[in-house]
Amino acid sequence: MVPGPRLYRHGVALLATVALASCATVPEPRAKQGFAAARAAMVGRIRRTARREYPKLAATPAFRNALRAVGGVRRELFMPESDRAQAYEDTPLPIGYGQTISDAYIVTVMTAALNLPPHAHVLEVGTGSGYQAAVLSGLAGTVHSIEIVAPLADRAKTLLASLGMTNVTVRAGDGFLGWPEAAPYDGVIVTAGAAEIPPPLIAQLKPGGTLVMPIGPEWPLEQLLVVRKAADGTLDRCSMGPVMFVPLTGRGERVRNPAEPDNRATAACF
């Protein structure tokens, strides 16, 4: 079974959210305790939801490792103080510049779908708040992350460094082009939708590597695709179901073309 459409990182709110009181008014030790409990509850919800929606994936070591990494990252640090009281709700939240931080469920699922080998070398396109990069930091040997909005890239770089995540390198740039000087990668994860996978990202993926990205001819028809590159360079793709991400910008910006394939017919991954 695959989930219904969700709105993830770089998303636009579909429903009005009720503003909650900022945790900035809560004494720090008490706030940390509250966040730790909320994070543990969130991990439990993610586990239960994945067992229902992706039972085969949820039974894999890759999923257990991804969930453990998510449980080890303080999500509240990756959003404005005014929104931190909502940090562990099952929803994307704004981080400025018209962008959002994904809900932790999709971060877990996408990370698990990468099925990273030990000491993996990973490329992330769409740093945003830095939350996905922080999760990858706990699983990969090295992470290179690109963000097209320069102030977000700078903010994420500073935050990740302050948290001691020295295996993550962030830069501002157009993710369509990838990061060729650091290639090849064991895994590539893209957190914005496009009509097709940027060719440079496929070229920079190692044989045997995996790319995870939302792809579709238009926003309402996106599927979260998992693409594996065989030793001979051929690609095998499957779908994790419908999603809705804000479009990739820069050179990868989507232009509606009715001739582009509808990925809804792609075989399910799990």
Which residues are marked as active site?
102
Sheet of 168-172, strand order: 168-172, 142-147, 121-125, 185-190, 205-215, 223-229, 235-242
- Tell me the two tokens of residue 181: 């000087």
What is d(CA 7, CA 10) in angstroms, rounded to the nearest whole number? 9
* Contact (Cβ atoms closer than 8 angstroms) between residue 160 and residue 136: no
Q: DSSP states of 189-246 as a string?
A: EE-SBBSS--HHHHHTEEEEEEEEEEE-SSGGG-EEEEEEE-TTS-EEEEEEEE-B-P
Nearest to 198 by CA among 158, 150, 240, 254: 254
Whether the Cβ atoms of residue 75 and residue 101 lie closer than 8 Å to each other: yes
